[in-house]
Amino acid sequence: MINQHQQDSTGKKNEDPAKAPAGIEHIIVIGASSGGLEAIKTIVQNLPPGFSTPVFIVWHMSPDIHGILPQVLNRLNNIYAAHAYDNEAIQPNRIYIAKPDHHLIIENNRMRVTRGPKENRFRPAVDPLFRSAAYTYGNRVIGIVLSGALDDGTAGLVTVKRYGGVTVVQDPGDAEVPSMPRNAMREVEVDYAVPAAEIANLLVSLALKKPNENTVVMNDEQIKKEIEIAAEENALQKGIFDYGKLTPYTCPECHGVLSQLKEGSLVRYRCHTGHAYSLDTLIQSITENIEDNLYNVLRSMDESIMLLNNIGDHLAEANQPKLAALYFQKAKEAEDRSQLVRKAIFKHEHLSKDVMQQKAEITIDDKNA
């Protein structure tokens, strides 16, 4: 199959990523979330100061905080670290970090910094960085998934693998929060799973090797559209529904209809406004929304109970005891129903792949006991 670096689906030649800036043979993309800061610091601290391969990092963070990661990393190594800015040219011996509330996307020899739709409820998200790196640099990419919850980065690492890049995860046993590397390993036959302390030496070794020649490209056009959506293009106009199957599910963020996208065994969802979800993130989002909605119902029921009692008090003071008693009766009936909603809230569970896996393991252990 023709790699997109030589020819796209329309037959038009694309810019050859072989014409990378001088000194750049590979690029490294890193994704991390909860517990990932220490792993990132360990990797950067252990890299040789003259390490020329550019490094791109997405670390999940609150959108309203001031990004301090560049300052932290610059205290650890002479490799200059900074937040990427839009249309910045890629240079060797640099560490580029996604800004809070912005996706980091790679386009040929430059970067895009955008506020495209959230993926897996995050912006910046790991998948757009990995996806765009693989599409642009193909087998020159080294993708690394570090500590974090849920599975952002899994779909991106699948793309890196299929474009012939090298896939690395932090050993789940070494990760403070093992879900991200563990989920990536479920979907990707990763090339390396190592502790954070060993990743820098691995990167030095990999950067000296020629790119992998075994490249199997998936749907180029779909990948291209998804990158464009992250780059603030209109998802509906880009025809994202053409690449999936419409579902009865709605987007937890905007309530738009979700389309199911399949990449081998990996199933994802994207709505017509552009929000994207893995299966794991979608089930967690939906189960969280159930609790929120139940509390909204309970609030409304409590308000109705208070209002019915208030009206009953007013009617009793107005010497209308029969009508007042009816209001008090309806308040009591509403209170009885509200107790059922309270019980439903307290029994409700937030579900995820890891939670279900743990429950399955406990069930198996109980049966074997």
Q: Is 272 assigned a catalytic role?
A: no
Confidence category of residue 3, pLDDT binned at 50, 70, 90: very low
Identity of the amino acid at 261:
L
Q: Is 285 assigned a catalytic role?
A: no
Instruction: Please state, in angstroms and rounded to a whole number, the distance separating the CA atoms of residues 168 and 145.
Output: 7
Query: Tens of pLDDT along 87-119?
Result: 999 999 999 999 999 999 999 899 999 999 999
φ/ψ of 141, rounded to 5, equals -90, 140
Q: Which of 60, 102, 272, 275 is catalytic?
A: 60
Which of these, 73, 183, 82, lies nearest to 127 by C-alpha position?
183
Confidence category of residue 1, pLDDT binned at 50, 70, 90: very low
Residue 323 pLDDT: 97
Q: Is 33 assigned a catalytic role?
A: yes
Query: Tens of pLDDT along 189-215?
Result: 999 999 999 999 999 999 999 887 765
Query: Tens of pLDDT along 124-153?
Result: 999 999 999 999 999 999 999 999 999 999
Residue 367 pLDDT: 59
Residue 134 pLDDT: 95
Q: Which of 152, 171, 174, 354 is catalytic?
A: 152
Q: What would the mean pLDDT of 215-224 be, rounded to a whole number? A: 73
**Contact status, residue 167 vs residue 191, Cβ threshold 8 Å:** yes
Residue 19 pLDDT: 46
Instruction: Please state, in angstroms and rounded to a whole number, the distance separating the CA atoms of residues 138 and 222.
Output: 15
Q: Which of 5, 26, 33, 352 is catalytic?
A: 33
Mean pLDDT of the chain: 90
Give yes or no for residue 11 having a pLDDT over 50: no
Q: What would the mean pLDDT of 162-187 be, rounded to a whole number? A: 96
Q: What would the mean pLDDT of 350-362 be, rounded to a whole number? A: 77
